[in-house]
Structure 1
Amino acid sequence: MNATFHDLRDASVFITGGGSGIGAALTEGFLAQGARVAFVGRSDAAAFVDAADATYQNRPLFIRCDITDTDALRAAMDRAAAAHGPVSVLVNNAANDMRHSAMDVTPDIWDASQAVNLKAYFFACQKAAERMEPGGSIINYSSITYLMGAAGMVPYVTANAGIMGMTRALAREWGPRGIRVNAIAPGWVFTEKQETMWATPEAKAAFLDKQCLRAFMAPQDMVGGTLFLASSMSAMMTGQTMVIDAGVASTG
């Protein structure tokens, strides 16, 4: 049985990458709570919006946007605020975890990775904070790849280390305004993209052996922790990173 977070009803929620993978599960999770959800993505999400509306009788607002275009991202957030009120919950979820050998990384690859995986996160936070009221919550998705020092994806891992540092710095800066900023570090969540591009049976079996809980993680496994951080149930949590990885990384 799923928990109900009553203070999320009618909350104005903005999610990056909210039409697929983990983001789609988050969009549905907030819709089920009665929140007013706007999300951005590069690919058309009309079918997902229609299906979500039919399921929850709560239609999300989809705005097509490349989050590396800062002006377009800001405009999308203004549009969301006009429709639903000032953003009270921001979830920075969109990311690109492409694999590159360290010796193959070019300046263009490096800059592109930081643009989507770190720069866009900061400017979404900055834009949300312009009008966010006390009690607002910002949730930045990072990754346990930083905690593990994962090889073969140095630009992505570096960006995720930056997300955790940025989260702590913004929590300190905006805490006096009553704005909370936290991060979530997922383990390997088997989205359609992961299954298509990297999740070979051998890789999945090897990773499962690293987990304390011997079950593959799905996008829905990320919803509960996100709703908790968005709600007043976590009112005194800020500057923290919540690891949801079935017990791979140790943070103690």
Structure 2
Amino acid sequence: MKADVDVREYNREAWDRQVATGDRWTVPVSPEVIAAARRGEWSVVLTPRKPVPREWFGDLKGKEVLGLASAGGQQGPVLAAAGARVTIFDNSPAQLGQDRMVAEREGLSIRLVEGDMRDLSVFPDNSFDLIFHPCSNCFVEDVRRVWREAFRVLRPGGAMLSGFCNPIGFLFDPEEESKGVLTLKYRMPYSDFTSLTDQERRRYTDKGEPLCIAHSLEDQIGGQLDAGFLLAGFFEDKHVEGDRLSEHLPTICATRAVKPGPAK
């Protein structure tokens, strides 16, 4: 696959296909989950397993929340049912359709916007009190643009909650890993678009799966700091069952970053 492939276009179509095949991140929450959230009993994830600490959110009542690359009918509807004013911004029309379905089913008001997470120009400066950004920036090339745009649209005193991959998880030979052997094969910078042979890439493209780009921790964490954020929370999580590397160390990170200034 050539380096000039449109990453956004490929992954938009791939995530639309994931909805059709019922990938775990495309399955909307049930009416029971929404009913519980309305009673104040709720949790959501930025990473595969661990619920986000409730204190990371503060009081959601009336807060303007941006679900950044966060469609799928999962986190956004829960936050809306908990009292937030939610906007979901995502690259996949089908994923946005899952949020629309839950909103219509549950009588929730959720604004849905299709777009590239690196370009939030549809939103004015200082538009949101909270940004919820689960593990999705591996589907774009330049994560530092994501952080800069998020900083711009967040209000002073607001927080951005983000999940992202430790790049080490991309560097092992997947065929050897399926046999229970961890063998380093690739190196940073890594991209499914340019680091793999055509045959290797077909492991994903033949199944219509999204393709990923590994971002360094310098770009993930240092990029948030360089954008102006201050880190105020951090935890690690392990990947889904079957990930051999997760038997040895957490491969997913989550951060709570705040935009300096008094909350408005």
Normalising by structure 2, we get a TM-score of 0.49
In the other structure, the counterpart of 1:95 is 137
Aligned pairs, number: 168
* Partner amino acid, structure 2, of 1:66: D
Q: Residues 120 and 141 of structure 1: is their aligned pair in 2 closer, same or farther, counting only changes over 3 Å?
A: farther
Partner residue of 2:101 out of 34, 47, 51:
51
- d(CA) in 1 for partners of 2:152 and 2:70? 18
Which runs of structure 1 show a deviation greater than 6 angstroms over 4 or more consecutive aligned residues?
A: 3-6
In the other structure, the counterpart of 2:207 is none
Tell me if structure 1 keeps the 8 A contact 2:70–2:132: no
How far the C-alpha of 1:63 sits from its partner, in A, is 0.6
Which structure has the bigger radius of gyration?
2
Gaps of 5+ in 2: 1-40, 44-53, 173-185, 191-212, 259-264
* Partner amino acid, structure 2, of 1:50: R
Gaps of 5+ in 1: 98-112, 191-203, 213-221, 232-252
Tell me if structure 1 keeps the 8 A contact 2:89–2:115: yes
RMSD: 4.0
* Partner amino acid, structure 2, of 1:33: A
SS of the counterpart of 1:30? helix
Partner residue of 1:2 out of 39, 42, 46:
42
The one-character-per-residue Cα deviations of 1:178-200 (angstroms, maximum 9, x if unpaired) are: xx66566543247xxxxxxxxxx
SS of the counterpart of 1:9? coil
The one-character-per-residue Cα deviations of 1:49-77 (angstroms, maximum 9, x if unpaired) are: 33321454322211111234x3xx221x2
- d(CA) in 1 for partners of 2:163 and 2:243? 25
Q: Larger helix proportion, structure 1 or 2?
A: 1
- d(CA) in 2 for partners of 1:61 and 1:189? 30
Tell me if structure 1 keeps the 8 A contact 2:77–2:103: no
Tell me if structure 1 keeps the 8 A contact 2:67–2:89: yes
- d(CA) in 2 for partners of 1:27 and 1:184? 21
In the other structure, the counterpart of 1:119 is 144
Partner residue of 1:30 out of 68, 79, 93:
79
The one-character-per-residue Cα deviations of 1:228-247 (angstroms, maximum 9, x if unpaired) are: x599xxxxxxxxxxxxxxxx
